[in-house]
Amino acid sequence: MRKPYVFITRKISREALKGLNESFVVNMWEYEEQPVPRDILLEEAAKADALLTMLSDKVDLELLDAARNLKVIANLAVGYDNIDVAAAIERGVTVCNTPDILTDTTADLAFALLMATARRIVEAAEIVKAGKWTGWSPLLLAGHDIHHKTIGIVGMGKIGETVAKRATGFDMEILYHNRSRNTEAEERLGARYTSFEELITTADFIVCLTPLTDETAGMFNKEAFQKMKQSAIFINVSRGAVVDEDALFEALVKGEIAGAGLDVFKQEPIGSDHPLLTLPNVVALPHIGSASAETRQGMIMLCIENIARVLYGGQPKTIVNP
Ligand SMILES: NC(=O)C1=CN([C@@H]2O[C@H](COP(=O)(O)OP(=O)(O)OC[C@H]3O[C@@H](n4cnc5c(N)ncnc54)[C@H](OP(=O)(O)O)[C@@H]3O)[C@@H](O)[C@H]2O)C=CC1
Ligand SMILES: O=CC(=O)O
């Protein structure tokens, strides 16, 4: 009998594959930092019973139509906007992601980015390393206070709540906006539900943690940035496409807002000549929200477990139900 074929779209440790190797034929793209080329992905998908994908792999109709044997896609991310989930489900393919396991690590990064942007940590460190620190002065690199300010979280889900928990330690007032109220966060963290409009006009820190959907795409546009306080700092750890990056650039250049901390971009990797990267009040990171060694290892093991469960005919631990 043919053994099920599993294709992994990025190099991961062979050690992690032990649980799959006994029962399945496993193959992987052997590069850690380079995504699998599209033609190879399509060829592999055509043979695969299971795919372990990255958020940079586009799983669209073309791929799904080529993937006649495919039973499960395990995406190494909680976000799944890279996958046409409805089309996968229609074809009987189970889609899995990695919620929960990355929540704390991503919230740590979001809060670190907020702090780095507010307190100009990257600028300050660069000045010291470049030998440009000429001495102490009263307003040298004076940034914005974080404590006792108002944080507005758009997307108060698992990660949003965990960022809010960190904000309580800084005595911050917490506002949030979702499509539906999160009463648990209100009770546990003292968060207050507001409209999107109220949140963006009153918060000192606006933190985006929604998934990328048709509704959230471009939600931070010119109009939104114009409504923010001139002292506001915008933090995005969601997906780049929730932001109109030209509008953000304009808002920063015109001083309509004070700064931005960005872990995600519309085009990843962002080109080094992108206008946003020329601004001193932008802290830009290479999409590292969940990138701690422990969490990434846990995410890989969860994907492997999900694949094994589905190929053995069972239910995955974490399934995407849009
Ligand atoms: N930068 C990085 O490395 C990482 C980025 N992420 C991103 O963070 C996202 C959130 O993850 P997680 O917290 O686990 O997901 P959750 O599903 O737990 O939370 C998402 C939240 O967004 C809200 N939301 C959805 N649509 C809208 C909308 N149109 N307007 C306002 N709020 C909305 C949801 O509430 P409601 O349904 O009531 O609207 C929910 O509270 C991921 O989808 C991913 O894109 C995640 C991990 C790492
Ligand atoms: O961006 C990362 C994710 O897990 O989603």
pLDDT at 282 over 80: yes
Q: Known catalytic residues?
A: 239, 268, 287
290 CB under 6 A from ligand 1? yes
Tell me what pLDDT residue 275 has: 98
Mean model confidence pLDDT for the chain: 97
Q: Does the N-terminal peptide bond of residue 269 adopt cis geometry, omega within 30 degrees of 0?
A: yes
Tell me what pLDDT residue 304 has: 96
Kindly give the distance from the C-alpha atom of residue 196 to the centroid of ligand 2, in angstroms, as a whole number: 23
Q: Report which residue type is found at 15.
A: E
Kindly give the distance from the C-alpha atom of residue 190 to the centroid of ligand 1, in angstroms, as a whole number: 20
* Residue pLDDT, tens place only, 292-317: 999 999 999 999 999 999 999 999 99
Q: Which ligand is nearest to the CA of 240?
A: 1
Tell me what pLDDT residue 38 has: 98
Q: Are 67 and 48 in contact (CB under 8 A)?
A: yes
79 CB under 6 A from ligand 2? yes
Tell me what pLDDT residue 22 has: 85
* Residue pLDDT, tens place only, 207-241: 999 999 999 999 999 999 999 999 999 999 999 99
Average pLDDT of the residues in 271-279: 98
Ligand 1 atom closest to Cα of residue 181: 38
263 CB under 6 A from ligand 1? yes
d(CA 218, CA 19) in angstroms, rounded, equals: 41
**Which H or E element spans position 176?**
strand 173-177
Question: Which domains are assigned to the chain?
Answer: 5-99+293-311 (3.40.50.720), 103-284 (3.40.50.720)
Q: Report which residue type is found at 1.
A: M
Q: Whose CA is nearest to atom 3 of ligand 1?
A: 289
Considering only CA atoms, which of 45, 161, 37, 186 is closest in space to residue 110?
161
In sign, the C-alpha dihedral spanning 288, 290, 294, 297 is negative
Q: What separation in angstroms does the CA of 274 have from each of 12, 107, 161, 269?
A: 31, 26, 32, 11
Pick from 11-20, 47-56, 117-126, 170-179: least confident: 11-20
* Residue pLDDT, tens place only, 164-199: 999 999 999 999 999 999 999 999 999 999 999 999
The pLDDT confidence band at residue 19, using thresholds 50, 70 and 90, is confident
Kindly give the distance from the C-alpha atom of residue 204 to the centroid of ligand 1, in angstroms, as a whole number: 20
Tell me what pLDDT residue 21 has: 86
Tell me what pLDDT residue 15 has: 87
76 CB under 6 A from ligand 1? no
- Three-state DSSP class for residue 285: coil
Q: Whose CA is nearest to atom 5 of ligand 2?
A: 79
DSSP 60-71: -HHHHHH-TT--
Q: Whose CA is nearest to atom 2 of ligand 2?
A: 77
Q: Whose CA is nearest to atom 11 of ligand 1?
A: 159
Distance of CA 156 to the CA centre of its chain: 14
The pLDDT confidence band at residue 114, using thresholds 50, 70 and 90, is very high
Average pLDDT of the residues in 88-103: 98
ipTM here: 0.99
Q: Whose CA is nearest to atom 4 of ligand 2?
A: 77
Tell me what pLDDT residue 1 has: 79
Q: Are 75 and 31 in contact (CB under 8 A)?
A: no
159 CB under 6 A from ligand 1? yes
Write down the pTM of the prediction.
0.98
